Chains A and B, each alone.
Chain A
Amino acid sequence: MPVITLTIDDELISGREGETLLQVIKEHGISLPTLCHMEGLSERGGCRLCIVEVAGSPRPLPACTTPAREGMVVRTRSERLENYRRMLVELMLAERNHYCAVCVSIGHCELQRVAAEMGVDHVRYEYLSPKLTMDLSHERFGLDHNRCILCTRCVRVCDEIEGVHTWDISGRGVKSRIIADLNRSWRESGTCTSCGKCVQVCPTGALFLKGAVVGEMVKDPTMLARVLEGREKKEWEG
C-alpha cells in the first residue's frame, strides 16, 4: 500500500492508499462523531455525522465513505460542520421516542453520548412521536422500535459477521423499520441463531437483553474486534 500525504486541520498527515478518510483521521487521534460506522462492518454513510470539509468539494463529505487521496485538504471542525452535526442529532432525537429516563441504555447510549458531546440540550424540531411497537417475542432479547435510529449495524453484523441476514429493513423514509426475516416476529424467525451480536453492536436501547437492568445493559464494544481477531488466528478451528 503506497503512502499518501494529506492535510488535516492544517497538519500534514500520512495515510495509506485504500484507506477511508475516517480511518486516517482516527489513526491520528482526531475524534469524529459517528453512529452508523463500526470497525469491522461495511461502511453505510447514513448518519452523516462524520462529515468533513474537503477542499474542492462544495458539499461536506462523509469521512467514512470517502477514499483518502494524495494531497487532500481536509477540515474536521468548523462552525458550519458543528452546526450541521447538531441539527442531524436533533433530527434523530425528533424522529422517534428517545426518552432516556425510561431507557435501559441510559448512560451507555451512543446517541445520548454524541448529543451530550455536541451540547444538544434542546430540539428545535417538532417531535414526530410515532406510535411504534416492541418485539419481545424472543426469549432472551428485545427490540424496541421507538429507540431505533436505523443505523443498520444490526443488519450488517447479522449479514456480514454471523452470515444469516435475519435483520433487514422494510418500508422507506420515516416508515422504515427493522424486521426479522420477511417481517416475522423475532421468535418465529427461522434464520436467527440467537447469537446476540446485534444486541452488542446496537448503539442505543433499541436492541437489549431482556430482564437486564441499566447497570447490566452495558454493551461490549470490543466484541466485534475479538470475534474478527479470533477468526483471523483460527482460534476456534479444532
Chain B
Amino acid sequence: MNPADLHAMAREEQARQEALRCRIMVCAGTPCLSAGALAVLDALRQAVEESRLDAEIEAVSTGCMGPCSRGPLVKVAVQGKPEIVYERVTPELARQILYSVVKGRRPPTASPLPPDHPYFTRQMKIVLANCGSIDPERIEEYVATGGYDALAHALHEMTPEDVCREISASGLRGRGGAGYPAGVKWNLARKAPGERKYVVANGDEGDPGAYMDRSVMESDPHRILEGMAIAGYAIGADQGYIYVRGEYYLAGRRLEAAIRDAERKGLLGSRVLGSNFSFRIDIRTGAGAFVCGEETSLMASIMGRRGQPWHRPPYPAQRGLWGCPTLINNVETLATVPAIIGRGATWYAGIGSTRSPGTKVYALAGQVETAGLIEVPMGTTLREVVFDIGGGIPGGKRFKAAQSGGPSGGCIPAEHLDTPLDYESMERIGTIMGSGGLIIMDETSCMPDVASFFLDFCRDESCGKCIPCRVGSMEMHRLLRRITSGTAWPDDLRRLEELCDLMGATSLCGLGQTAPNPVVSTLRYFRHEYEAHIRERRCPAGRCTMAAEQEPGPGGKALLHAVGVPGEVG
C-alpha cells in the first residue's frame, strides 16, 4: 500500500458512512461492557436486522465515550443532525431509540445527554478524538478519520531530524507523569550510536482509579501504532514493543487485532507505505507488577527478567533493551504524535499553557456526579474539571480534596481548587500531574485513611530491591494503621515524617521516591486530622473506627497525660 491507496481507502470508507442514514454506536469500553453494553448491542443489531434497515442504519461497537459512570452509553448520529448520547441504556431502551430514529422522533423514555452539556463542550479532544466514534476493530474507520496520514507524511516528506524537530517544537511532554520533554528524549535516542534500536509504548498503567491508557488502547489502538511507527522512523528503530498491563485483556486483544490489520495493509512490517522504512510491533504482557511501569523495570520485564529497576545512568535512550538505545514513551504521549505531525507543532504548542502545551486526558473518579474519561487543555483549573465537567459532588456534600497522580501524587485541597492543572502549578502545591488519575473526595473522606490506602498499595507493590522502599513502606504503613486505629503515640508523627524524608531521598526508583507523597501532602494540608487521630483519638470525618478504651503501652499513660490527652495517670 502506498499513500495513494491509503487515501482511496479513506475515501471509500467515508463514502460508505455517508450513504448511511444513521450510525448507532454502542460504547464497548470496559466500564460499559461491565454495565451490560453487549446485550444492548445485540438487541440493536437484532432490531436493525428485523426491521430490514441494514442498508441505511448500522449498529457498531466503539470505544470509550467518556461519561463512564452513566453507562451503558449509546450514541446516535443521524445524517445532518447533531449526535446525541443516551445514558444508562437497557436493551429495551435501545430498541425504543432505534424505532424512534426510524420514525424521526425523540425516544419517549430514554434520557439523552444534551450535546451542549458542559461534559462535552468543555473538553478538547486530540488523543481521544476518535474514542467513542469509531469501531476500534476496523482499520478502515481509523483510516477514514485521516489515520496513518501523518505516518505517510513523515515517511515521504520529512527526514528523521525533521520529525524530532517537530516534536521538540510542539513542546510535548511525557504524559506518563514525569513531564520530560519528548523531543529531548527522541533526539537522544536518534543520536545514540547503535546497530539496533527499539521503541517501547508504556501501557502498564497501574495507579488505582486511573484508566486513560486503557481507554486509548481499547478505543483507538491504531493511533498508538501510528505514533510508534513515527517514533521508530524518527530514531531509526525497526522494532517496537507495547507493554500492556496483564489485567487489560481487552486492550491487548484489540491491539493485537490492530497490529495484524496494519501489517496486512502494509502500514506496519517491511517497507511501510512503500518507503524504505520497516517497522514491526509486538505486544508484551505484564504480570501485575506496578513497578513495571517504571521504565527500567519495564525493560527487564520485556527481556524476560525479574521486574526490578536498575540504576540510571545509563539511560534507556543510551542503553536499554538488550543494551541497545531504547525510546520509552507512555501510550498517551505516543497517541499525541500523529496529531502533532499531521497538524503541525505550532498548532499544538498554541494549546494549553506555555510550559505545558497540549491537552491532557484525565480519569475522573471518586465522589463526583459524572465520573469518566475527559480530555482538557493543559492549564484548565481543577474547579472547572470537578464542577463544570464532572457536575460537582453528589448528595450536596462539600468538596474536600482531589488526589492526583495516584500513589505517587498528592492531594489538592479546596483552597487550591483554582490551580491550573499543569506540571509546574501542580508541583508548586505539592502534588504531581502524574499519569492523569483524579480521585475526587468529599467531606466523608478521612485523609490519614486515604494516605494509608496509597501507602498500603506501594508497600504491596514494592519490588524489594532497595531497603528504604522495601522496609520503609512497610513501617510507614504500620504507623499509619496505628494512627487510623487510634493507637498511635505523639512521636509517631515525627517518625512518619522522618521515614517520608528517607524514602524520598534514598529509594532506588521512582516508586519508592514518590511513595511518601500522599502522606507528605495530606500532612501539609490536613495535619489537624492526623493530630485529632493521635491526640484526641477521634476521626473528624467519622470514617476510622478508633480502638475503644485501649491500654497504652508501658509509660504510655504518663506520656499521654504529658501531651494533654485526658485520662488518669495510673
A residues bordering B, Cβ < 8 Å? 43-48, 51, 59-60, 62, 65-67, 84, 87-88, 91-92, 94-95, 124-126, 128, 150, 168-169, 171-176
Contacts and interface: CB of A to CB of B under 8 A. Distances in A.
Contacts of A43: 311
B468 A173 contact: no
Contacts of A84: 502, 505-506
A48 B508 contact: yes
Given A59-B513, A172-B289, A91 B462 contact: no
Interface in B479-522: 495, 498-499, 502, 504-508, 513
21 contacts: A44-B465, A45-B466, A48-B468, A48-B508, A59-B504, A59-B505, A87-B499, A88-B506, A91-B467, A91-B471, A95-B470, A124-B495, A125-B495, A168-B306, A169-B306, A172-B289, A172-B291, A173-B461, A173-B463, A174-B470, A174-B471
A174 to B, nearest CB: 5
A81 to B, nearest CB: 10
Given A87-B502, A88-B506, A48 B466 contact: yes
B524 to A, nearest CB: 18
A230 B474 CA distance: 44
Given A45-B508, A94-B475, A172 B467 contact: no
Nearest to A69: B313
Contacts of B310: 45
A65 B311 contact: yes
B566 interface: no
Contacts of B513: 59
SS class of chain B's interface: helix, strand, loop or mixed? helix
Q: Which residue, A60, A124, A125, A176, has most C-beta atoms of chain B within 10 A?
A: A125
A176 B471 CA distance: 11
Given A45-B466, A173-B462, A173-B464, A60 B475 contact: no
A218 B291 CA distance: 38
Contacts of B506: 48, 51, 59-60, 84, 88
Contacts of A45: 310-311, 466, 508
B313 A67 contact: yes
Nearest to B459: A173
A60 B311 contact: no
B464 A171 contact: yes
A173 B495 contact: no
A88 B467 contact: yes
Nearest to B475: A125
Given A46-B508, A173-B459, A88 B464 contact: no
Contact of B475 (A51, A65, A91, A169): A91
Given A46-B508, A169-B464, A91 B311 contact: no
A107 to B, nearest CB: 23
Contacts of B508: 45-46, 48, 62
Given A45-B311, A59-B505, A173 B467 contact: no
B69 to A, nearest CB: 33
A56 to B, nearest CB: 14
B478 interface: yes
A60 B504 CA distance: 10
Contact of A176 (B459, B464, B495, B504): B464
A146 B53 CA distance: 72
B472 interface: yes
A169 B465 CA distance: 10
Contacts of B92: none
B5 interface: no
A165 B251 CA distance: 36
- What interface size band does chain B fall in? 20 to 34
B427 interface: no
A232 to B, nearest CB: 25
Nearest to B290: A172
B481 to A, nearest CB: 10
B168 interface: no
B498 A87 contact: yes
B336 interface: no
A150 B474 CA distance: 16
Contacts of A168: 306
A88 B459 contact: no
A45 B509 CA distance: 11
B191 to A, nearest CB: 19
B12 interface: no
Nearest to B499: A87
Contacts of B466: 45-48
B388 interface: no
Given A48-B466, A48-B467, A150-B464, A173 B474 contact: yes
Nearest to B482: A126
Contacts of A87: 498-499, 502
A43 to B, nearest CB: 8
Contacts of A169: 306, 464
Contacts of A128: 471, 474-475
Given A47-B467, A59-B506, A128-B474, A172 B495 contact: no
Nearest to A96: B471
A172 B468 contact: no
Interface string B308-324: 00110100000000000
Contacts of B505: 59-60, 84
B311 A62 contact: yes
A174 B478 contact: no
B472 A91 contact: yes
Contacts of B468: 48, 88, 91
Contacts of B306: 168-169
Q: Which residue, B467, B473, B474, has most C-beta atoms of chain A within 10 A?
A: B467
B460 interface: yes
Nearest to B508: A45
B297 to A, nearest CB: 11
